[in-house]
Amino acid sequence: MAEILFVMTGASYWTLKDGHRHPTGYWAEEFVAPYSAFSDAGHNITVATPGAVVPVVDSMSLRPSMAGGEESALQQEAVIEQADELRRPIAVKEADLDRYDAVYYPGGHGPMEDLSHDADSGLLLRRALASGRPLGIVCHAPAALLATRDENNDTPFSGYRLTGFTNDEEAGVGFAPDAKWLLEDELRALRTDYSRGPVWEPYTVVDRNLHTGQNPASAGPLAKELLEAL
């Protein structure tokens, strides 16, 4: 039985370049699919957020059109309602990496708002990468890598093969023109070896202990890879 740390956004909105606060949070499938996979395998999960804020699900992610149909949306909502870990998170800065066998970051637009500059998360990511423990990051959650940069704008993730939400997918959901910055652009600027698959299709990349997924559809396959790594 393993101990797995879910580091999640505490943001309930995403500030666009015109100052509008778009309601958001974490993306349901990106929490539910790995949570279910790890729980079914008998592993324990701890949720951590900045300031121990109870994370908020992006209501858009539970729309049947976004969740794979009405039945899937209801199933995801039921898992979220039953996941007590979501209602008693710890603070990211209180997370002791030595207690966990793996770390997982689900996405949603929330990480663009808070984890992209959260120093505690940035430190945890640097330590997790160096530890050799499985580290999974999906969709918009690679925005958290921006917080791993030092005063010289260098990051230990430079040169790693990885993926994340694409510019085309951001355009597909209508936010690309309004975003302050786009995740794909920023990951490339970090000098990572960024790659991508077809839009909305599952696509994962593994480089050493770093496991990344491109979009919500990649969360389930990513969880399977992390289970194999464990």
Q: What is the pLDDT of residue 146?
A: 98
Q: CA 22 → CA 16, 27, 183, 228, distances in Å?
A: 7, 14, 17, 37
pLDDT in tens, 83-100: 999 999 999 999 999 999
Query: How confident is residue 209, by pLDDT bands cut at 50, 70 and 90?
Result: very high
Q: CA 226 → CA 4, 12, 28, 203, distances in Å?
A: 10, 28, 19, 14
Distance CA 207, CA 210 (A): 5
Distance CA 72, CA 12 (A): 23
Q: What is the pLDDT of residue 202?
A: 98
Q: What is the pLDDT of residue 164?
A: 98
pLDDT in tens, 126-161: 999 999 999 999 999 999 999 999 999 899 999 999
Q: What is the pLDDT of residue 25?
A: 98
Query: How confident is residue 208, by pLDDT bands cut at 50, 70 and 90?
Result: very high
The average pLDDT across 208-229 equals 98
Would you list the domain boundaries of the chain? 3-229
Q: What is the pLDDT of residue 13?
A: 98
Q: What is the pLDDT of residue 122?
A: 98
Mean pLDDT of the chain: 97
Query: How confident is residue 80, by pLDDT bands cut at 50, 70 and 90?
Result: very high
pLDDT in tens, 22-48: 999 999 999 999 999 999 999 999 999
Q: Does domain 3-229 fall into CATH 3.90.105.10?
A: no
Q: What is the pLDDT of residue 58?
A: 97
Q: What is the pLDDT of residue 66?
A: 92
